[in-house]
Amino acid sequence: MHIVVCVKQVPDTKIIKINPKTNTLDRRSAPAILNPYDAHAVQEAVKITKTIGKGTISVLSMGPPQAVAVIKKSIEIGADRGFLISDRAFAGADTLATSYALSKALERISKDMPVDLIICGKHAIDGDTGQVGPGIARRLDIPPVTNVIEVSELNEGEKTILIKRKITNGYELIQAQVPCLLTVEKEINSIEYSPMPNMIKAARYEPVIWSVNDLEEVDRTQLGLKGSPTIVGKMFTPPKPEGGKRLEGNAEEQVKQLMELLNDKKELFVSR
Partner 1 sequence: MSEKFDVIVVGAGPAGTSCAYTCAKNGLKVLQIERGEYPGSKNVMGGVLYRKQMEEIIPEFWKEAPLERPVVEQRFWMMDKESTVSFGYKGLEWGKEPYNNFTVLRAPFDQWFAKKGVEQGVLLINETVVLECLTENGKVVGVRTDRPDGEVYADVVVLADGVNSLLAKQLGYHKEFRPDEVALTVMEVINLSKDKINDRFNLEDNQGCTIEIFGDSTKGNLGTAFIYTNKDSINIGVGTTLSSMIKAKLKPYDLLDYLKTHPMVRPLIEGGESAEYLAHLIPEGGYHSVPKVAGDGVLLAGDAAQLVNAIHREGSNMAMASGTMAAETIIDAKKRGDFSETSLNQYRETLYQSFIIKDLEKYKDATHTFEHYPQYFKEYVPMLNRAASKFFTVDGTPKKEKQKEIMKSFTSERGTIRVLQDMYRAWKAVK
Partner 2 sequence: MDEYRGVWVFIEQNDGKIEGVSLELLGAGRKLADKLDVPLSGVLLGYEIKSLCQEVIAYGADQVYVIDHEVMKDYRTESYMKAVINLAEKYKPEIFLYGATSNGKDLASAVATDLSTGLTADTTMLDVEVDKRLLEASRPAFGGNIMATILCKKHRPQMATVRPKVMKALEPDPDRQGEVIEEAITLSEDDMRTKVIKIVKDVTKKVNLADAHVVVAGGKGMGDLQNFQLIHDLADAIGATVGGTRDVVEAGWLPHEQQVGQTGETITPKVYFAIGISGAIQHVVGMKNSEFIIAINKDPDAPIFDVATYGIVGDALEIVPKLIKELKEARERGGEMSYV
Task: Return d(Cα 97, Cα 68) in angstroms, integer.
Answer: 21
Task: Return d(Cα 225, Cα 233) in angstroms, integer.
Answer: 13
Output 213 or 221, the one with its CB closest to partner 2: 221
Output 204 or 246, the one with its CB closest to partner 1: 204
Q: Confirm if 57 and 5 have CB atoms less than 8 A apart.
A: yes
Task: Return d(Cα 144, Cα 147) in angstroms, integer.
Answer: 10
Contact range with partner 2 by CB under 8 A, out of 61-69, 81-89, 208-216, 222-230: 222-230
Spell out the residues 6+ positions from residue 75 whose beta carbon is closer than 8 angstroms to its own: 59, 81, 82, 198, 201, 202, 205
Shortest Å distance, C-beta 114 to partner 1 = 31
Q: Report 71-130 residues binding partner 2 (CB under 8 A).
A: 94-96, 99, 125-130
Binding region for partner 1 (CB under 8 A)? 31, 193-197, 199-200, 203-204
Shortest Å distance, C-beta 132 to partner 2 = 8
- Binding to partner 2 by residue 224, rule CB under 8 A? no
C-alpha dist (Å) from residue 236 to 23, 229, 239? 11, 21, 9
Contact range with partner 2 by CB under 8 A, out of 73-81, 113-121, 197-205, 227-235: 227-235
Kindly tell me which residue out of 2, 13, 63, 106 binds partner 2, with binding defined by CB under 8 A.
Answer: 13
Output 196 or 235, the one with its CB closest to partner 1: 196
Shortest Å distance, C-beta 183 to partner 2 = 9
197 binds, among partner 1, partner 2, none (CB under 5 to 8 A by kind): partner 1
Task: Report which residue type is found at 148.
Answer: V
Task: Return d(Cα 25, Cα 41) in angstroms, integer.
Answer: 27
Residues belonging to the chain: 272
Class of residue 252 by CB neighbours under 10 A (exposed 0-12, middle 13-18, buried 19+): exposed
Q: Report 19-78 residues binding partner 2 (CB under 8 A).
A: 20, 23-25, 36
Contact range with partner 2 by CB under 8 A, out of 44-52, 68-76, 109-117, 176-184: 176-184
Shortest Å distance, C-beta 190 to partner 2 = 11
Kindly tell me which residue out of 105, 119, 145, 215 binds partner 2, with binding defined by CB under 8 A.
Answer: 145
Task: Return d(Cα 121, Cα 39) in angstroms, integer.
Answer: 8
Kindly tell me which residue out of 14, 81, 89, 119 binds partner 2, with binding defined by CB under 8 A.
Answer: 14
Task: Report which residue type is found at 272.
Answer: R
Task: Return d(Cα 134, Cα 144) in angstroms, integer.
Answer: 6
